[in-house]
Structure 1
Amino acid sequence: MINGITPISLQNMDGVAKAAAPAQTQAGQFGDMLKNAMNEVNRAQLESDKMTGALAKGQNVELQDVMIAAEKASVTLLSSIEMRNKAIEAYQEVMRMQM
């Protein structure tokens, strides 16, 4: 015992490693959630492009459906950009903190 601090036993270290495992699982879940969100943005953009192309070719597509798809794609893209900006701001704020 040094200055009132007891050394950590190897048995306690196993508990620390086990406690860190759920954090890694949560990071994986966050990564999956982020990946799914980006796939949704991409899907909306592709759907908008497909409908716009169909309208330009003169196929039987309603104009309002094309406009709705375009707005959905725009909103999902803009919201993902804003979420990215907020995440970057939060990261920068954490980096400015003094330890």
Structure 2
Amino acid sequence: MTGGYNPNSINALQPSAVTQPKKITPKEAHSVFAESLKNAINNVNEAQVESNKKTEQLAKGEIDNLHDVMITAKKASITLQTAVQVQGKVVDAYKEVMRMQV
């Protein structure tokens, strides 16, 4: 069948079984959120520590690659700024949820 309607081609695109999203309990959601938050804070901290270490090494004369030090410092700065922005959005979302009437 060339150029015509083929119902089998449409059926091939549809999943054979309807999958339902996995339902999680509030406790599981809480632990997943807490773990995600912990990982994000650790990533911010690691970026800050790495930046401080390279800046200190540059000041002591142990390394001489200023570009690498500046890039690391900028990455740490952007990571921290992003974390602060996300924190603000989370606080706004929390306030919005608290204003909802049940």
Query: Structure 1 length as normaliser, TM-score?
Result: 0.73
Whether the 8 Å contact between 1:48 and 1:69 is mirrored in structure 2 is yes
Report what 2:86 is aligned to: 83
- List structure 1 runs of 4+ shifted beyond 4 angstroms: none
**Is residue 85 of structure 2 the alignment partner of residue 95 of structure 1?**
no
Percent sequence identity over aligned pairs: 47
Structure 2: runs of 5+ lacking an equivalent? 1-22
**Is residue 34 of structure 2 the alignment partner of residue 43 of structure 1?**
no
Report what 1:52 is aligned to: 55
Structure with greater helix percent = 1
Structure 1 residue 21, shift from structure 2 partner: 6.4
Q: Secondary structure at the match of 2:25?
A: helix
Structure 1: runs of 5+ lacking an equivalent? 1-19
CA RMSD of aligned residues (A): 1.6
- Residue pairs, 1:4-19, within 5 angstroms: none
Q: Secondary structure at the match of 2:27?
A: helix
**Number of residue pairs aligned between Structure 1 and Structure 2:** 80
1:21-48 deviations in whole A, cap 9, x for unaligned?
6331222111111101100100000000
